[in-house]
Amino acid sequence: MNLLQQTIEKITNLDQDMMTKARQRVDSLIKPPKSLGKLESIAVQLSGITGEMFSSIDKKAIIVMAADHGVYEEGVTSNPQIVTFAQTLNIAKGITGVGTIAKVSGAKIVTVDIGVKEEIPGDAGVIIRKIKKGTDNMAKGPAMTREEAIKALEVGIEIATAEIQNGVNLLGTGEMGISNTTPSTAILSVLANCDPKEITGRGAGLGQGGLAHKIDVIRNAIAINQPNPTDGIDILAKVGGLEIGGMAGVMLAAAANHVPVVVDGLISSVSALIAASIEPKVKDYLITSHATEEPGGIIASELLGKEPMLKMDMCLGEGSGAALAFPIIEAACSMMINMPTFEEVGMEI
């Protein structure tokens, strides 16, 4: 808890003076005003995050948190749980969606076992920070203790901080965990104060009971555990996941260190909501990548107050949307660094 509290205390508001100056420069670049749209707002946000007019994005990493879920026992998915283990290994090899897309921008993939049920081999290229072998079944009681939830947050903080200390200046979040749309939807239901029926999707594949069964499991888990909607850690502990906590910790660490962090799809967005419930100023450091095909994505984005930059009909997870967004953020930096103002080129307007 000491690390979590210390991290929270380091998070400040964006540099408004620098953002004002950045906006003035963007508006005077040799182009029609507002003509580069979201690239302009990203550039201004980056200046507020870093406190620099010309933000540099030259070392990028996506931190992928992997964990299993006890609620798998309820038959909410058709996918075998061993897929979490297998895909965690493949993510570390760089051959899954996130790795192949990340190659475009040269981003590093940092794969973390924060709660995979199976034992990951020591030579697999995965950072082993296992808190427990998957969460407990939230349909029968809390997914984890409050202490375990805090530890998940702190593992995320530690991993992100280490990357930042190694020079990373743009982070992305990703996850791997069979059944994790179930706890994500439960968290979102609590925070949005809505019935799970309104936001529950198919995830990676429905179990034999179909969508109705998945909705019932989520609804019953919330009723049994009664998570406090004003306490993000309590929600995380009772109906969350270890990888969800880990990603939230990454976001807290990024904000504490004035580093932008790109949010992936539904599960990453739910992690962002947990982070923001712990410290609302985190929202200012987030860049949302894409509008997920999962039904809860729209509500999650609305709660964050963020409009995703891309609509690509994606719902893979892993951080794939964040990887796809990295080149766009780099383009915003290039605009700011390489495009002169009308005054600088001697043009009158």
Q: How far apart are CA 325 and CA 62, in angstroms?
A: 11
Contact between 41 and 106 under an 8 Å Cβ cutoff? The reply is no
pLDDT at site 205 = 78
Return the H-helix or E-strand segment holding 63. Answer: strand 60-67
Among the listed residues 57, 96, 89, the one whose alpha carbon sits nearest the alpha carbon of residue 325? 57
DSSP notation for 256-268: HTT--EEE-SHHH
The CATH number that domain 60-328 falls under is: 3.40.50.10210
How does strand 286-288 pair with strand 127-128?
unpaired
Residue 40 structure tokens = 């302009």
How far is it, in rounded angstroms, from Cα 261 to Cα 121? 29
What ranges do the domains of the chain cover? 60-328
By the 8 A CB rule, do 135 and 94 touch?
no
Residues with active-site annotation: 318
Predicted pLDDT at 349: 67
pLDDT of residue 201: 83
Instruction: Give the whole-angstrom CA distance, residue 88 versus residue 95.
Output: 11
* pTM (2 d.p.): 0.97
Count of residues in the chain: 349
One digit per residue, the tens of pLDDT, for the chain of length 349 reads 699 999 999 999 999 999 999 999 999 999 999 999 999 999 999 999 999 999 989 999 999 999 999 999 999 999 999 999 999 999 999 999 999 999 999 999 999 999 999 999 999 999 999 999 999 999 999 999 999 999 999 999 999 999 999 999 999 999 999 999 999 999 999 999 999 999 998 877 787 788 999 999 999 999 999 999 999 999 999 999 999 999 999 999 999 999 999 999 999 999 999 999 999 999 999 999 999 888 899 999 999 999 999 999 999 999 999 999 999 999 999 999 999 999 999 997 6
Residue 203, pLDDT score: 78
Measure the CA–CA gap between 156 and 4, rounded to whole angstroms: 10
Q: DSSP strand E in 190-275: where? A: 261-263
